[in-house]
């Protein structure tokens, strides 16, 4: 299985669910979120789902999609989590999840076709957030200087908020090496390697891993 730039939420879920069964056997268990976090808030989700519905209706009427394909294209958006929907999943045990977001201004992106998207992974445990970003530039010292990961920054903002019952102590970022359009496949391979090959052994041991940087946030 190799992921391209056109992977749907359903394809990601099909990939993640068997890995979730494996991660549940770890000691302690690792939560592997089977859904993608895509939206910063419920209003953003509503707008993107509405856009998907309008496009699906037009494609159905023009004969470019079947009824089933039209429904699946909308579902791919509707299944996505918001940051608010993701936060309750943070438990005492570790969690690994996939984030994907539009690059640039999300409102302007909605009027464009095709839309440029970026995919990366996050791990959170014991107040430490780690971001695997295929676009990361090694040596970057500040989270604010990391480009293309606004959802991760929204998560940091939420964790630092007064209403949060979780505390954020450190943020680590690693990855890099993406040649423009390989972020989905690179993220898929990284997650598969961490779960199947390493069985979660390296998750949380960021200071011992080459290429990972503790950034100011």
Domain extent listing, the chain = 9-37+91-108+117-215
- 62-74 pLDDT, tens digit per residue, is 888 899 999 999 9
Average pLDDT along the chain: 91
Q: Is the pLDDT of residue 90 over 70?
A: yes
Q: What pLDDT score does 105 carry?
A: 53
Instruction: List, as one string, the DSSP characters of the chain.
Output: ----TT--HHHHHHHHHHHHHHHTTSSS--EE--SPEEESSHHHHHHHHHHHHHHHHHHHHTTSS-HHHHHHHHHHHHTPEEHHHHGGG--SS-EEEEEEEESS-HHHHTTSSSPPEEEEEEEEETTEEEEEETT--TT--BGGG--S-HHHHHHHHHHHSTT-SS---EEEEEE----SS-HHHHHHHHHHIIIIISTTTTTT-GGGSTT-EEEB-
- 126-149 pLDDT, tens digit per residue, is 999 999 999 999 999 999 999 999
Token digits of residue 27: 């000691």
Q: Is the pLDDT of residue 217 over 80?
A: yes
Q: What pLDDT score does 5 carry?
A: 75
pLDDT bucket at 114, cuts 50 / 70 / 90: low
Which region, left, alpha or beta, applies to residue 92 given φ > 0 means left and ψ of -120 to 50 means alpha?
A: alpha
Segment 168-188 shows an average pLDDT of: 94
Q: C-alpha angle 74/38/12, rounded to 5°?
A: 70
Burial of 212 per CB tally in 10 Å (0-12, 13-18, 19+): buried
- 16-49 pLDDT, tens digit per residue, is 999 999 999 999 999 999 999 999 999 999 999 9
Q: What pLDDT score does 113 carry?
A: 58
Model's pTM, two decimal places?
A: 0.92
Segment 160-178 shows an average pLDDT of: 91
Q: How many CA atoms lie within 13 A of 163 on its CB side?
A: 6
């Amino acid at each position: 299985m190799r992921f391209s730039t056109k992977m749907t939420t359903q394809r990601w879920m099909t990939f993640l669910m068997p890995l979730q069964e494996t991660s549940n056997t770890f000691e302690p268990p690792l939560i592997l979120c089977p859904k993608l976090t895509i939206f910063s808030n419920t209003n953003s989700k509503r707008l993107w789902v509405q856009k998907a519905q309008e496009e699906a209706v037009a494609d159905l009427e023009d004969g470019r999609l079947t009824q089933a394909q039209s429904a699946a294209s909308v579902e791919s958006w509707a299944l996505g989590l918001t940051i608010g929907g993701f936060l309750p999943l943070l438990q005492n045990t570790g969690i690994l999840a996939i984030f994907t977001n539009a690059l640039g201004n999300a409102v302007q992106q909605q009027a464009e076709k095709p839309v440029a998207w970026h995919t990366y992974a996050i791990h959170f445990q014991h107040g430490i957030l780690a971001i695997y970003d295929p676009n990361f530039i090694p040596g970057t010292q500040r989270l604010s200087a990391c480009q293309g990961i606004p959802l991760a920054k929204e998560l940091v903002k939420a964790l630092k908020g007064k209403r949060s019952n979780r505390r954020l102590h450190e943020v680590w970022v690693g990855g890099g090496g993406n040649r423009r359009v390989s972020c989905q496949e690179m993220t898929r391979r990284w997650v598969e390697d961490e779960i199947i090959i390493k069985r979660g052994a390296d998750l949380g041991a960021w200071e011992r891993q080459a290429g990972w940087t503790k950034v100011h946030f």
